[in-house]
Amino acid sequence: MDFQDIVLRLHNFWRGHGCLILHPYDVETGAGTFNPATFFGTLGPDALRVGYLEPSRRPTDGRYGKNPIRLRLHHQYQAVLKPPPSNIQQMYLDSLEALGMNLAEHDVKFAEDDWESPTLAAWGVGWQVCLDEMEISQFTYFQQMAGVSLDPVSVELTYGLERIAMVLQGVESAYDLRWNDRIAYGTLWREKERQFSIYNFESAAVERIQKMFTLCEEECQASLVAGLVFPAYDYALKCSHLFNILDARHAISITERESFIARIRELAKACAQGYLGTGGIDAYPTT
Amino acid sequence: MPTLLLEIGVEEMPALDIPCLAQELHATTSKVFTQEALSYRQIDVYYTPRRLAVLVRDLKTQQEERVRSIKGPPTAVAFDSEGCATQAGIGFAQSQGVTVRELGQVKYGAKIYTSVKRSIPGKETSEVLLAILPRIIMDLHPKKTMRWDSSGLSFIRPLRWLVCLYDDKLIPIELGYLRAGRKTYGHRFLKQEEVVLDGATSYVQTLADSLVVVDPGERQTMVLDALREQADRLGADYLVDNELLSRIVNGTEHPTPIFGSISEEFLSLPTEIVHATLREEGKFVPFSLADGTSPCFMGFRDGMPDKEGIVRAGYERVVQARLGDSRFFFDRDRQSTLAEKVRDLHNMVYDARLGSLWEKVERIRALAGAIADHTGDGLGQEVDRAAFLCKADLVTELVQAFPELQGIAGGLYARLDDESNDVAEAISEHYFPISSEASLPKSRVGTIVALADKLDTVIAAVLVGEQPTGSRDPYGIRRQANGLIRLAIEGKVDLDFFELLESLEETYLVMERNGAISDVRRFISGRVAHLLRQKYGIGPDVVACVAAVTGGNFYHIFLRARAVTTWHESKDFHSLIAAFSRVCNITKNSAETDFNPSLFKSEAEKALWREYLKVEGSLTSLLEEGNYEQGIKLLLSLRDPINCYFEDVLVMAEEVSLRQNRLGFLGALARLFYHIGDLSKLITTSDSRQTNPASTQEKR
């Protein structure tokens, strides 16, 4: 099954379970959780069902295109359901079968992996789902988002698509995956991985990035003052991404690290408070 | 008699937390059943990641009859001074349907109340179970809980089903949105996952038929047998610690070994890194071959054997990628030398109040240097170099990815940087011992740096007021102090650490607070006493004896304790203690004073003086060598002269100057014994006979 087929099948599967099928957010994110559909959607009392693809950029994971599974940009598929159905584990396993996986042939484990994001002031309880000991998904019952205790809680299923595709196509390296019947994943992505790795680890202009961080932080704060939570959140996301570049560049000492994270966290919390404060907007309704 | 089964179905629980939770389930069940007067023969608890099960065997069908006493008004209120019932007394009796005469009495606190004894007939067990079983489940306290629906329940992971059978009878307990039934689930990846249980007693077998081994002991045997067999086949050792074993045993319902090998391209990577990579997240068990390479590992599939080799290929793919990561970290770390990394320690905070790791390294260097000076092994240069480099690996990518490689990674990199063997070995060993049973550094340089590192951690924590209290020990300094003391004792380090502290005041000047150094002494002395008892098996009275003389030479304290223990059982020694006690008793209230031997009159006095001089002359050098056994033997020669002395000499002479002179001499004699300790703290067998009740009876 081609990489692009996997995405289409997951869209279909979750559409069948009543999810809104959305698109990747067009601001850099480190994980699907940062997409506003999850960030704002999990807040508040209203039901939520969404599914979307999210390219996730993690500068420190870059390996110059040389590691078979560690990537600076990998593709996450994310399904979020609030409240969680009681058969959600089975539903998740069914989605793997829908991708053509014969689970009886593999070793599937739900291994404890509680999730926490200090930048989002969010945490949840759950597992990494391992297929033959390779982590292919993160399965999390969110308990808190942006410092707010969630009621009802949401469940988030995050699929690591490259890894799942490797199993399905039986290849040893993500770069050997078929994107479609003509183009290999490597053809599409290897050079980008190489260039971004050089950029993130060696070339990004530390001072300029630090300035950009401060500018985005100010823009976020200014938008919050104007009561514009969605634009504000975009700038919080940018801060998070810029921080990740600085981190990969080893430009942040351990002491500074904490304070950078705290600055982003304050922005995220303020966005959440602004959103809940508007009273009753349901940004991603189910009906 | 019938058996009760309660099975709690849960989404996969964290492997390491399950045993504890199961133990709690066992304890709570036994407590509640006893409270509720439900008699049974035995409780067995089983568990897998997806279920906790309790089987109560031979549970009586009827609750035992219980007697409850119902409290009425105080007796003084219920009856008047003539003993006649008052209105209150009559009212209470009537309300309980008894006559006034049938009222009993019961004491609550200081007051006496009227009471009525009521026997409560036992209910049917199944009725009681309905009420208590949900409570037992909700009384469990997992380390971390979560919510998953709107029932308000919280647990370690979502509760998904309940089975409750009393033999073949269904007990339909309710909890949240769940209601107990007969339906359980076999192994998740069986075609026919749902299983209907027809009775409690067949539980273990029925699940075994559905590929679930509910007994954790049996799963552990399966895992260890597989590892042992493979190791024998390879002529290798398998490297599994308790945590990794528990992750495998409690992370699977049916562990099946899958053997895999490592691609040759990684054989050039240091073995320590390969092993750490394999053990990461508790997935694979490495095998270590005699020649140091480990081209293979074992993982455990949850399910059946992997006939097509699909799982094996998957495991190998994961290991390949992980090792690729490790090599990436290794290569990046190798872009600068360990010595160059030291300056990055400026940016790593050790503690907000204690400064950066750089500052810690500076203190370790000062301490290690001072220790090396005293122990005089001529290793000053190596010690300083090792101390300088010992924390540099904390900034490496390898240690950030595998924290358990701290020290080991530093040693590896030092060797590759062409640091001397002594230095490299010392770096890799300086965290040793990592537990009370773990091994100590092999090298002398490693021992000295390890001593300095631990001493600094302890001093620094105490200086900022973080001494451990109860279970709170934020810097883990109990363990650090234990390590320090073990290093000194087992490394035979003949050095007084407290004197060393005095000489190092400058190093800790910045953090000085009043009285802190004596806090450090007190804390460490407490640990010495603890370790002598717990680790070295020294009797509590011997510990009290040697601890009466405080000091910072832990090795010598240990030697003293051991010598006293050796002599402890001998009759001669007991009589020496008696003699010593006489000396102590008579001098205990007088201050240390000078004395003049020319004033000695009787022969006994002069004889004791001569013996004293002889003993004192050789004792000091014996003790400096640490030869406490000979020292005690030498002291024994004082016994007879002391006894003669007390027979002949009246210490408390009328004449003041004579009395002072004698007390002064005996004081000096007592101090001689104090080189060993306070012998009066020792419990001799003759003492224990006195307190033996049997012997008291004889006297009567």
- Write out pLDDT tens, residues B483-506: 999 999 999 999 999 988 888 777
- Nearest-CA residue of chain B relative to A83? B149
Q: Does A199 touch chain B (CB under 8 A)?
A: no
Whether residue B321 and residue A111 make contact (CB cut-off 8 A), yes or no, is no
Positions of chain A with pLDDT under 50:
none
Which of B12, B160, B311 is the closest to A132 by Cβ? Answer: B311
CA torsion angle for A63, A69, A74, A75 (degrees, to 10)?
170
The CATH homologous superfamily for domain B569-687 is: Isoleucyl-tRNA Synthetase; Domain 1 (1.10.730.10)
Torsion of CA A63, B322, A237, A165, to 10 degrees: 90
Closest CA to A242 of A263, A273, A270: A263
Residues 89-108 of A with CB under 8 A from B: 89, 93, 103-108
Asked if A107 and B321 come within 8 Å (Cβ–Cβ), the reply is no
- Give which of A66, A94, A107 to mutate to test B binding, by max B Cβ within 10 Å: A107
Give me the pLDDT at residue B508, please: 75
Scanning every residue of chain A, which has its alpha carbon at the shortest distance from the alpha carbon of B154?
A: A143
In the structure, what pLDDT confidence band is assigned to residue B694 with cuts at 50, 70 and 90?
very low
Quote the CA–CA distance of B253 and B224 in Å, as a whole number: 15
Cα distances from B207 to residues A194, B13, B202, B215, B303, in angstroms, run: 52, 18, 9, 10, 13
Mean pLDDT across B604-633: 91
pLDDT of residue B128: 96
Predicted confidence (pLDDT) at residue B102 exceeds the cutoff of 70: yes
**Beta carbons of A166 and B310 less than 8 Å apart:** no
CB contact under 8 A, A109 and B149: no
Of the two residues B102 and B257, the one the predictor is more confident about is: B257
How many CA atoms are closer than 13 Å to the CA of B332, on its beta-carbon side?
23
DSSP chain A: --HHHHHHHHHHHHHHTT-EE----SS-BSSGGGSHHHHTTTSSSS-EEEEEEEEEE-GGG--TT-SSS--SEEEEEEEEEESPPTTHHHHHHHHHHHTT--GGGS-EEEEE--EEETTTTEEEEEEEEEETTEEEEEEEEEEEETTEEEEEEEEEEEEEHHHHHHHHHT-SSGGGSBSSSS-BHHHHHHHHHHHHHHIIIIIS-HHHHHHHHHHHHHHHHHHHHTT-HHHHHHHHHHHHHHHHHHHHTT-S-HHHHHHHHHHHHHHHHHHHHHHHHT-S--SS---
> Smallest CA–CA separation between B127 and chain A, in Å?
29
Distance to chain B for A167, nearest Cα, Å? 8
φ, ψ at A219 (rounded to 5°): -65, -40
Residue A66: list chain B partners with CB under 8 A. Answer: 324, 328
The per-type count for chain B, helices as H runs and strands as E runs, is 28, 18
Half-sphere exposure of B328 (CA within 13 A, CB side): 20
pLDDT grade for B654, boundaries at 50, 70 and 90: confident
What is the average pLDDT across B431-459? 93
Cβ contacts of A106 on chain B, cutoff 8 Å: 310-311, 314
Residue B153: helix, strand or coil by DSSP?
Answer: coil
Task: Choose the most confident range, by mean pLDDT, from B5-14, B510-519, B669-678.
Answer: B5-14
Say how many CA atoms lie within 13 Å of B283 toward its Cβ.
Answer: 25
Pick from A63, A103, A112: which is nearest to B328 by CB? A63
Interface of A with B in 217-276 (CB under 8 A): 253-255
For residue A84, the distance in angstroms to the closest alpha carbon of chain B comes to: 7
| B284: nearest CA partner in chain A | A133
- By the CB < 8 Å criterion, does A81 face chain B? no
ipTM, interface predicted TM-score of the complex: 0.92
The nearest CA of chain A is from the CA of B77 a distance in Å of: 54
Question: Which candidate in B10, B50, B146 is best for mutational testing of the A interface (most A CBs within 10 A)?
Answer: B146
Q: What is the CA radius of gyration of chain B?
A: 36
Across the range B359-385, mean pLDDT stands at 91
Return the H-helix or E-strand segment holding B111: strand B111-120
Chain B nearest-CA distance from A46, in A, is 13
CA separation (Å) from A23 to A43, A54, A79, B40, B153? Answer: 20, 8, 12, 61, 35
Mean pLDDT of B59-67: 92
Residues A119/A105, Cβ–Cβ less than 8 Å: no
Q: What are phi and psi of B532, to 5 degrees?
A: -60, -40
A 115-154 → B contacts, CB under 8 A: 124-125, 127, 131-134, 141, 143, 151-153
Cα separation, B138 vs B32, whole angstroms: 13
Please, what's the largest Cα pairwise distance for chain B? Answer: 104
Q: Residue range B514-522: average pLDDT? A: 82
User: Where is average pLDDT lowest: A70-84, B256-270, B523-537, B675-689?
Assistant: B675-689
**Rg of chain A over all Cα atoms, to the nearest angstrom:** 19
d(CA A98, CA A78): 16
- Residue B698, pLDDT score: 35
Counting one residue from A and one from B, how many pairs have CB atoms under 8 Å apart? 114
Query: Does residue B696 carry a pLDDT above 60?
Result: no
Specify the pairing of strand A108-112 against strand A122-131: antiparallel
CB atoms within 10 A of CB B396: 25
Which of B313, B324, B348 shows the shortest C-beta gap to A68? B324
Cis peptide before B270 (omega within 30 of 0): no
- State which CATH number among 3.90.550.10, 1.20.1560.10, 1.20.58.180, 3.10.580.10 fits the domain covering A205-277: 1.20.58.180
Q: Which residue of B has its CA nearest to A108?
A: B302
Contacts of A107 in chain B (CB under 8 A): 258, 299, 301-303, 306, 311, 314
Reply yes or no on whether the pLDDT at B352 is more than 90.
no
What pLDDT score does B692 carry?
37
CB-based contacts of B467, cutoff 8 Å, min separation 6: B461, B477, B519, B523
Q: Out of B146, B188, B328, name the one closest to residue A143 (CB).
A: B146
Domain ranges of chain A: 3-200, 205-277
* Closest Cα in chain A to B303: A107
Tell if the CB–CB gap between A105 and B310 is shorter than 8 Å.
yes
Burial class (CB in 10 A: 0-12, 13-18, 19+), A253: middle
User: What tokens appear for A115 in the block?
Assistant: 């999730």
The answer to whether residues B287 and B232 touch, using CB atoms and an 8 Å cutoff, is no
A44–chain B nearest CA distance, Å: 14
Determine whether the interchain pair A133/B189 forms a contact, defined as Cβ–Cβ distance below 8 Å.
no
CB atoms within 10 A of CB B393: 25
Letter string b/e over residues B410-448, b meaning 16 or more CB atoms within 10 A of that residue's CB:
bbbbbbebebeebbbbbbbbbbbbeeeeeebbebbbbbb
Give A83's contacts in chain B (Cβ within 8 Å).
149-150
Of A63, A110, A133, the CB nearest to B12: A110
Q: What is the pLDDT of residue B349?
A: 74
What does the angle CA B611 – CA B617 – CA B620 come to, to the nearest 5 degrees? 125
- State the nearest Cα–Cα gap between A245 and chain B, in angstroms: 17
Q: Cβ of A255 and B349 within 8 Å?
A: yes
Distance of alpha carbon B147 from alpha carbon B580, whole angstroms: 69
CA distances from B616 to B568, B611, B668 (A): 22, 8, 10
Q: Does residue B700 have a pLDDT over 60?
A: no
pLDDT at residue B248 greater than cutoff 90: yes
Which residues are A258's β-sheet partners?
A: none
- Cβ pair B528, B547 in contact under 8 A: yes
Question: Between the CA of residue A171 and those of A1, A162, B487, what are the distances in Å?
Answer: 12, 11, 52
Q: How far apart are CA B335 and CA B396, in angstroms?
A: 11
Question: Cα-flanking dihedrals φ and ψ of residue A64, to 5°?
Answer: 60, 25
CB of B636 closer than 8 Å to CB of B576: yes
Which residue among A83, A107, A134 places its CB closest to the CB of B149? Answer: A83
pLDDT greater than 80 at residue B430: yes
Terminal-to-terminal C-alpha distance of chain A: 33
Return the HEC string of B504-566. CHHHHHHHCCCCHHHHHHHHHHHHHHHHHHHCCCCCHHHHHHHHCCCCCCHHHHHHHHHHHHH
Query: What distance in Å separates the CA atoms of residue B626 and residue B553, rounded to the nearest whole number?
Result: 11
Q: Do A112 and B15 touch (CB under 8 A)?
A: yes
Greatest alpha-carbon span in chain A: 56
**Residue A167 with chain B: CB contacts under 8 Å:** 314
Q: Are A134 and B314 within 8 A, CB to CB?
A: yes
If you average pLDDT over residues B298-307, what whole number do you get? 94
Residue pointed to by tokens 């302890």: B458
Q: What does DSSP say about strands B66-74 and B111-120: parallel, antiparallel, or unpaired?
A: antiparallel
Pairing of strands B349-351, B355-356: antiparallel
- Residues B333-361 as b/e (b if ≥16 CB within 10 A, e otherwise) read beebbbeebbebbebbebeeebbbbbbbb
DSSP letter for B292, please: S
Kindly indicate the confidence band of residue B695, based on its pLDDT and cuts at 50, 70 and 90.
very low
Cβ pair A106:B310 closer than 8 A: yes
Q: What is the 3-state secondary structure (H, E, C) of B422-465?
A: HHHHHHHHCCCCCCCCCCCCCCHHHHHHHHHHHHHHHHHHHHCC
Whether A21 and chain B come into contact, CB under 8 Å, resolves to no
**Contact state of A152 with B252 under an 8 Å Cβ cutoff:** no
Helix axes of A161-169 and A3-16: crossing angle, nearest 10 degrees = 110
End-to-end C-alpha distance for chain B, whole angstroms: 54
Residue B684 in this model has a pLDDT that exceeds 50: yes
Look up residue A207 and give its amino acid: E
- Torsions phi, psi of B286, nearest 5? -80, 150
Interface contact flag, B283 A133, Cβ < 8 Å: yes
Cβ B456 vs Cβ B496: under 8 Å: no
The shortest C-alpha distance from A131 to chain B (Å) reads: 8
B339-556 maps to which CATH number? 1.10.3210
Report whether B158 contacts B12 (CB < 8 A): no
Confidence category of residue B480, pLDDT binned at 50, 70, 90: very high
Averaged pLDDT, B560-574: 90
Contact of B203 with B197, CB cutoff 8 Å: yes
Residue of B9, B45, B15 lying closest to B27 (CA atoms): B45
Q: Using CA coordinates, name the residue in chain B closest to A256.
A: B347
Residue B217 has pLDDT above 90, yes or no: yes
CA distance A68 to chain B (A): 6
Give the CATH H-level superfamily of domain A3-200: Bira Bifunctional Protein; Domain 2 (3.30.930.10)
Between B656 and B285, residue with greater pLDDT: B285
Q: Which residues on A lie below 8 Å from B341 (Cβ)? A: none
- Answer yes or no: do A111 and B314 touch at CB < 8 A: no
Reference B54, options B35, B37, B30; nearest CA is B30
Closest approach of A232 to chain B, Cα-based (Å): 30
CB contact (8 A) between residue B149 and residue A254: no
The number of residues in chain A equals 287
